[in-house]
């Protein structure tokens, strides 16, 4: 399977869809309706209210929507990785890795605010990569700031991604105070319109405006299967990180900076999973994009084919057991 997706074959787009259906078909067998959490912000509540009136609360509709979102994210992420030559050759391994790792934890397949955030964060990461050679960095940085503000209106802890924007400017651009101010202005723009709407609708309240953020330790895994799933998430990441470090000298400077952004992405995402929620793993999906890139490296770089095959089929077998047998 790794050998098939390692090739850039147009038929692999269809194979990726079949691969996703095999791993995620349990979504349709056991559909779950979304649940609001205290960290879910205004925009997500509005989206959920609109969907609920359209779907009439049918869980299967949310399962179909979740599958479509996850597959779209995998396809988009794969295309961006190939366009920016994150790996030396164009492959379908980033998309395959994204589908596989989002199946390791059941909560990652549920419709949620963090799931929606990933779609925007893939785009933000792409725009950050483009900053290195951007002819108009001001407008690009402003747009990145705007979309970072939007994801915080979906999920409150996601405002921590503002740190990623600021550090990305350090990595990708020479220091210019104007560009930093453009990023901050973009981030605050969605809140400007939110405050206007709340004021005109007589829902303005300073107590509601102030973010309630509290750091918590993630809940301990409740079963050996969850522990195993987390291990299958971390071990290929470590192997992929080793091979990326080993091949850094062969990469162009923009690609090295892209990998640095992915590592920064992961570090900021880890901070987010420590905020407010400790009773589920839904919000852990914000780590899926950088994890998928490093997993793809673990499948791509080893010269001996046995290691990638073992890593893949162990994860694949785990997903089948957890989703269809347990």
Q: Looking at residue 208, what is its pLDDT?
A: 57
Half-sphere exposure of 162 (CA within 13 A, CB side): 18
pLDDT at 248: 87
pLDDT score of 151: 92
Q: What is the pLDDT of residues 197-232, one digit of tens each?
A: 777 777 666 555 555 666 666 666 667 888 898 899
User: Using the 8-state DSSP alphabet, how is residue 275 labeled?
Assistant: B
Among candidates 167, 205, 206, which has minimal Cα distance to 183?
A: 167
- What pTM was estimated for this model as a whole? 0.91
**Regions of the chain with pLDDT less than 70:** 203-222, 276-279
Question: What is the Cα–Cα distance from 24 to 13, expressed in whole angstroms?
Answer: 16
Q: Is the dihedral of CA 267, 142, 72, 1 positive or negative?
A: negative
Distance between terminal CA atoms of the chain? 24
Residue 13 in tokens: 């787009």
pLDDT per residue over 35-59, tens digit each?
888 788 888 988 998 888 888 878 8
Position 117 scores a pLDDT of 93
- The owner of tokens 């995402």 is 269
């Amino acid at each position: 399977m790794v050998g098939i997706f390692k090739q850039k074959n147009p038929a692999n787009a269809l194979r990726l869809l079949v691969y996703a259906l095999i791993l995620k078909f349990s979504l349709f067998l056991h559909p779950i309706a979304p649940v609001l959490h205290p960290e879910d912000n205004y925009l997500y509540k509005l989206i959920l209210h609109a969907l609920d009136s359209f779907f009439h609360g049918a869980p299967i509709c949310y399962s179909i929507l979740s599958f479509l979102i996850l597959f779209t994210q995998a396809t988009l992420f794969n295309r961006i990785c190939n366009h920016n030559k994150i790996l030396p050759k164009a492959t379908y391994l980033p998309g395959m890795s994204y589908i596989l790792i989002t199946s390791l934890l059941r909560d990652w397949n549920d419709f949620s605010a963090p799931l929606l955030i990933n779609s925007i964060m893939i785009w933000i990461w792409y725009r950050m990569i483009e900053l290195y050679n951007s002819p108009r960095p001001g407008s690009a940085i402003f747009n990145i700031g705007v979309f970072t503000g939007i994801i915080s209106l979906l999920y409150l802890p996601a405002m921590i991604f503002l740190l990623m924007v600021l550090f990305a400017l350090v990595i990708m651009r020479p220091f210019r105070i104007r560009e930093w101010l453009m990023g901050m202005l973009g981030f605050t723009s969605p809140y400007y319109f939110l405050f206007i709407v709340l004021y005109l609708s007589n829902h303005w309240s300073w107590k509601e405006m102030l973010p309630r953020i509290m750091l918590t330790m993630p809940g301990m895994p409740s079963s050996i299967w969850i522990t195993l799933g987390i291990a299958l998430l971390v071990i290929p990441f470590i192997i992929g990180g080793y091979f990326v470090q080993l091949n850094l000298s062969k990469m162009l400077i923009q690609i090295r900076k892209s990998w640095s952004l992915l590592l920064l992405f992961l570090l900021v995402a880890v901070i987010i999973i420590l905020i407010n929620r400790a009773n589920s793993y839904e919000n852990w999906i914000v780590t899926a994009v950088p994890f998928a890139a490093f997993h793809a490296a673990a499948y791509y770089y080893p010269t001996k084919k046995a290691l990638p095959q073992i890593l893949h089929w162990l994860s694949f077998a785990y997903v089948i057991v957890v989703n269809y047998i347990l």
